[in-house]
Structure 1
Amino acid sequence: MDAFTSPLTALALAALVVLLPRAKRRLELSLAKQPGLAGHSRWAQRVARWLPGYSYDDAPFFNADAAPAELVAQRRAGLTALGQRLAARHPLSIAATADVRAGLADAQFTRRYRVPFQFSALVSERLPLGNVVQASQGVQVQDLDGQWFYDLTGSYGVNVLGYDAYKHCIAEGARRAEALGPVLGSYHPCVLDNVRRLKAISGLDEVSFHMSGTEAVMQAVRLARYHTRRRYLVRFCGAYHGWWEDVQPGPGNPLPPRETYTLSDMNPRSLHVLRTRTDIACVLINPLQALHPNSPAPGDSSLVDSSRRAGFDRAAYTAWLQQLREVCTERGIVLIFDEVFVGFRLAPGGAQAYFGVQADMVTYGKTLGGGLPVGVVCGRAALMRRFRPERPADICFARGTFNAHPYVMASMAAFLDQMERPEVRALYDGLDERWNARAAQLNARLEAADLPVRVANLSSIWTVIYTHPSRYNWLLQFYLRDQGLLLSWVGSGRFIFSLNYTDDDFAAVADRFVAAAHAMRHDGWWWTQPATVSNRTIRRELLREVLAQRLYSPVHSSQQNRERQHGL
């Protein structure tokens, strides 16, 4: 008996020796993830596939929160009047937008996801929006009907200095590149100076040019894996690094995460994972997450209640980045700052200068092209090399036909010239203090008027948050449009101001914001609900509704017909 059991015991002990460390590492990885779907990509994908599509008919649209009958009537009248005002002021822009949308997939997507999906069909029917514009000047843009809007879109982050500055960069770039034209493969002479200045700005050794921010991040991660000979990258919960598979797991990506760890931001357990694992090639940081750690980029399509939270603590986030820098240095992990969005917005030296932390690699995009598409990787020389002299067939290939396009490089040179002008440098003097004061002023006005809305900001990047439980906060974007404020398709989730906003410009925006909030309250969308109503009870009711739709009630044919009619 002993002769038989001894080998089994030895095998069991050997299995424990092998499996226990693996189980321990797996548990540590799980503990370092953010609780909830945002931190668990596979579960988020499963839920997304399971969630049924359905639309509210007329009655539930106006009474999703069980409001009194007189309030529902007030809402109906308010929505009708709002839709009529929008249609009367912008008929040409609305018609052109409908024509564009018929053949443009991007426009179809953004229309569908402006609001929570249950409300989308009726909103598209009754609140027409025009998204075709023809001119820009100062901090405003003009639609086809001659209406001027204060621009809060920031062109997805491109517009740091103001549209007039980029018009100059593009015109100057075209003038400088005109003699060469679109000659590809060789380099325009301005490339040499661009490289020199980008090395100085980034504090790094070498540069490579690409055609988008997503492509730049792809190359940075690719090089980190090549040089460390490790597979995994670490991204933090909620952070956006482009739309390619490894950095955008979860809903929106048809593939599950494969070689990506999504960890909790500003969490000591994440630091422990970095210290103890040997398979991590790089850590990706998007400094924009400092405004809403562990939450995805806020958009009104997910604004089903008032639980959106945002707030920036510069000291705390700086300390976190310093800890990351220390751990990455200790473990030979490549620290990559993804500054595609925030680069040149927080400081002339970007987020590295703003937070005082040096990365191993940094990616830029957006504004750096002077208004034209671009992506840039800057890195230490040892990381930027794409070959191994001792292994000539072992290369890390990366090329692009339009990399270092002469017109893009010349516009970039013009942008970098702009950044050195005294009047542009002056925009950064007291930058945080100026924008923090503006946010505080607006919040004071909203509080004094007892309006259930506030703003949070990371310098000139703002998010709107809501103070009382409501199903209808997403409607604010339409009242803001009615007041002449242009938002991107994510609505009140993100305002991006250009740095050339004067105090008078901002005062006009603040007046219009407050007027829009007053109008929305007047039309009955924000009402004092019973004390038993909270964000939690709203989500519970929504869950019951979704389960009922999934289990018992297929989408009504009238709803399907409406969606087909409006291209949804």
Structure 2
Amino acid sequence: MSDVETLDRPPPIGRHGRVSAEEQREFARAKQMLPGGALGGNALAEDVKFVFKRGEGGRFWDVSGNCYIDYVLGSGALVLGHAHPAVQAAVADQAMRGTHFFAYLNEPAVQYAERLMPHFRCAERIRFTTSGSESTFHAMRLARAFTGRSKVLKFEGAYHGNHDYAQLSTSPKRASNYPVGVPDTAGIPDVVKGLTLVAPFNDLEAARAIIAANKDELAAVIVEPIQRIISPQPGFLQGLRDATREHGVLLIMDEVVTGLRYGLGGAQAYFDVVPDLATYGKIIGGGLPVGAVAGRADILDQADPSTKANPGYVYQNGTLQGHPLGCAAGMATLSVLETPGFYDRLFAMADRLRAGLQQVFDRHDMGAVVFGEGPMWHFLFTDRAPVTYRDVLESDQKKLAAFDTELIRQGIFVLPGTRRFVAATHTEEDLAVTFEAFDRACRAFKA
């Protein structure tokens, strides 16, 4: 019997101060063992933090039995929502056959590579990793080896993982002095800081100028095709493709978020731009730790283990890469994504959500703009949708942080300050309940 079924009726969504003694003990144990009582780099405010208990579809429950509608969805990994039956069955079946064989060939990995590659336009070869961060790290290494150059250009406000080469100007509190970045973390050596250049997203002329000025040292340009939640301006991505090709610089498209989310072909098909390399994570693992680097054969073949004696060999390995459970979960997810009409329904659900939320904000005169395209959404307290990261900085960030906290209190789980996702298992009832919760949040916020 589930947590919800033991009650006379399902509880209303939201925390509303309901914290059980059991969950309080979980908090105390976590605080003793884990830095900040957290598993990673994010922590919720004290009055809304919780411990996950279980998830189903587009909702989850905490240890105290409180219910939430989930728009974080494992940071976007769960396009099918929580505990999808097809994914559960695939993982259970593979677990009976074996859970891990190290980074040697296994049947699910070979089968999954064969199914994925036709969907990814740039994919002449594919190499599995265990995360999106690992994917971007190895893509940069491959690019440096292939070109013999050391620098990589990224865009202000873009997230490309947790490694040193990516943690510059991801979420700076002050604007970057292009092309010099602002470190996001302590512990990055000065010599590494100088290897990552930064440009403003959606400013093609600025990017072209930086590429041209650094062409002899620049190995690659890495770009999120939709940067966090900011859509590219018409011609921006193709302009990057043209500029990198002109100067012999590789283009890396970071599809960790957009891959399989904007169609089976991801952003490459959605925007009709083909990079030299693309990186993947999140959806392709079906909720388990699987990532990938895909791209040109001449670049990826540098990681061929039979060439270890060659000076140009690129080491790329990991104990868990090509993990059979993750590949089984990914294949089960892909089978659902390949169902006719899947993306039409997913996009339509997100369109209805954005439109309904804007109506709620307008009704309460909150001064918020809801934006996004496809199955991602966000809102800012500003007068227009952002085009660059600096537009985000200029919005009312304090008001956003306070409102996001109120949303969690009301049972709408969002990652404060960043973009949100829609799952295929969100229902019309979920949308209706979401609009009601936003209405309550607006009333509470204004009161």
Smaller-chain TM-score range?
0.7 to 0.9
Give the Å deviation of 1:459.
2.5
What's the CA shift string for 1:436-494, capped at 9, x where partnerless? 34312321232122234342223232223124969554222332223222233xx2533
Supply the AA of the counterpart residue of 1:337.
Answer: M
How far the C-alpha of 1:161 sits from its partner, in A, is 1.7
CA shift digits 1:94-114 (9 cap, x unpaired): 442332233112644879865
Go from structure 1 to structure 2 and tell me whether the alpha carbon gap of 1:158 and 1:230 turns closer, same or farther (over 3 Å shift): same
Per the TM alignment, residue 372 of structure 1 is displaced from its structure 2 partner at its CA by 0.8
The answer to whether residue 409 in structure 2 is matched with residue 482 in structure 1 is yes
* Distance (whole Å) between structure 1 residues aligned to residue 29 and residue 16 of structure 2: 18
- Partner of 2:117 in structure 1? 199
Seen in structure 2, the aligned counterparts of structure 1 residues 143 and 232 have a Cα distance that, compared at 3 Å, is same
CA distance, structure 2, for counterparts of residue 259 and residue 111 of structure 1: 24
Name the aligned partner's letter for residue 510 of structure 1: F
Change (3 A) 1:492 1:160: same
Match for 2:442 among 509, 517, 522? 517
State the secondary structure of the residue aligned to 1:168: helix
| One-letter code aligned to 2:290 | V
- Structure 1 length normalisation: TM-score? 0.65
Choose the corresponding residue for 1:429, options 344, 351, 357.
344
Tell me what 1:49 maps to.
Answer: none
Give unpaired runs (5+ residues) of structure 1: 1-84, 115-122, 293-311, 523-568
1: distance between equivalents of 2:118 and 2:397?
49
The question of 1:383 aligning with 2:310 is answered: no
> SS of 1:287's equivalent?
coil
Residue 193 of structure 1: how far off its partner (Å): 2.0
Q: Which amino acid aligns with 2:219?
A: A
> CA 1:200/1:494 → structure 2, altered by over 3 Å: closer, same or farther?
same
Alignment of 1:42-441 (within 5 A): 86-105=16-35, 107-108=37-38, 114=44, 124=46, 127=47, 129-165=48-84, 168-203=86-121, 204-249=123-168, 250-255=183-188, 256=190, 257-267=193-203, 268-276=205-213, 277-289=215-227, 291-292=229-230, 312=231, 316=233, 318-386=234-302, 392-420=310-338, 422=339, 425-429=340-344, 431-432=346-347, 434-441=349-356
Find the residue that maps to 2:61 and give its secondary structure: strand
Aligned partners of 1:379 and 1:104: how far apart in 2?
38
Compute the displacement of 1:170 (Å): 4.2
Which residue, out of 371, 375, 383, partners 1:456? 371
What is the letter of the counterpart of residue 28 of structure 2? A
Q: Which structure has the larger Rg?
A: 1
Amino acid in structure 1 at the alignment position of 2:351: N
Matching residue's letter, 2:350: W
- Structure 1 position 500 matched with structure 2 position 437: no
Separation in structure 1 between the aligned mates of residue 348 and residue 86 of structure 2, nearest angstrom: 28
Residue equivalent to 2:175: none
> Which one-letter code corresponds to 2:206 in the other structure?
R
Distance in 2 of aligned mates of 1:366 and 1:107? 24
Measured in 2, the distance between the counterparts of 1:450 and 1:476 equals 14
Mapping 1:535-554, distance limit 5 Å: none
Partner SS state of residue 415, structure 1: helix
Structure 2 unmatched runs, 5+: 1-14, 169-182, 383-394
- The CA RMSD over aligned residues, in Å, is 2.7
4+ residue runs over 4 A deviation: 108-114, 387-391, 430-434, 467-473
Secondary structure (helix, strand or coil) at the match of 1:215 reads: helix
Per the alignment, in what secondary structure is the counterpart of residue 164 of structure 1? coil
Which residue of structure 2 lines up, in the alignment, with residue 537 of structure 1? none
In structure 2, relative to structure 1, the CA distance for the partners of 1:109 and 1:429 (3 Å cut) is: closer
Between 215-224 and 179-188, the greater mean CA deviation after superposition: 179-188
| Count of aligned pairs between the two proteins | 400
CA shift for structure 1 position 153: 1.6
Q: Is the Cα–Cα contact under 8 Å of residues 229 and 419 in structure 2 kept in the other structure?
A: no
Q: Could you state the TM-score of these two structures normalised by the residue count of structure 2?
A: 0.82
